[in-house]
């Protein structure tokens, strides 16, 4: 068998697989679009004004630590997938979601996390 025949025998099946991969990759559309959560600042309760807390979470800013204490919120939440968030951030996420029906997408600007993380944290809280 000549070198050219061996080369063709190896290249043609590989080229066929590459073409299939390119066609499938091009046809695949993710059902979860990538929202730019990295462009927002991380959640920090200190950056909120008191009236902003009342509007967003339906609780006064001064009352949030007391509420977390009464509800026995742990210092941090750890999701089964390894995601970690502070107890105050978790309770604020819960309050925001319950204050007004909104989708997780609407919470990205406030909590600077991707939609799957927001969903997991909400479920754990």
pLDDT per position as a tens digit, 44-61 = 999 989 999 999 999 999
Query: What are the distances in angstroms from CA 13 to CA 3, 22, 25, 27, 44?
Result: 16, 14, 18, 21, 55
DSSP 10: H
Could you tell me the pTM of the whole model? 0.72
How many angstroms separate the CA atoms of 96 and 80, rounded?
A: 23
Cα–Cα–Cα angle for 79, 85, 90, rounded to 5 degrees: 95
What residues does 77 pair with on adjacent strands? 85
Q: Please, which pLDDT band fits residue 17 given cuts at 50, 70 and 90?
A: confident
Q: Is the pLDDT of residue 34 over 80?
A: no
Which residues lie across from 85 on neighbouring strands? 77
Average pLDDT, the chain: 85
Which residues make beta-bridge pairs with 78? Answer: 84
pLDDT exceeds cutoff 80 at 84 = yes
- Inter-residue contact 108 to 34 (CB < 8 Å): no
């Amino acid at each position: 068998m000549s070198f050219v025949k061996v080369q063709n025998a190896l290249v043609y099946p590989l080229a066929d697989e590459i073409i299939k991969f390119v066609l499938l990759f091009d046809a695949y559309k993710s059902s979860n679009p990538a929202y730019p959560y990295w462009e927002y600042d991380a959640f920090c309760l200190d950056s909120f004004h008191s009236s902003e807390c009342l509007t967003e979470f339906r609780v006064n800013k001064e009352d949030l630590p007391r509420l977390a204490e009464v509800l026995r919120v742990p210092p941090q939440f750890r999701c089964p997938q390894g995601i970690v968030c502070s107890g105050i951030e978790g309770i604020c996420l819960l309050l925001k979601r319950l204050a007004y029906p909104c989708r997780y997408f609407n919470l990205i600007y406030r909590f600077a996390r991707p939609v799957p993380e927001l969903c997991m944290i909400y479920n754990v809280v």
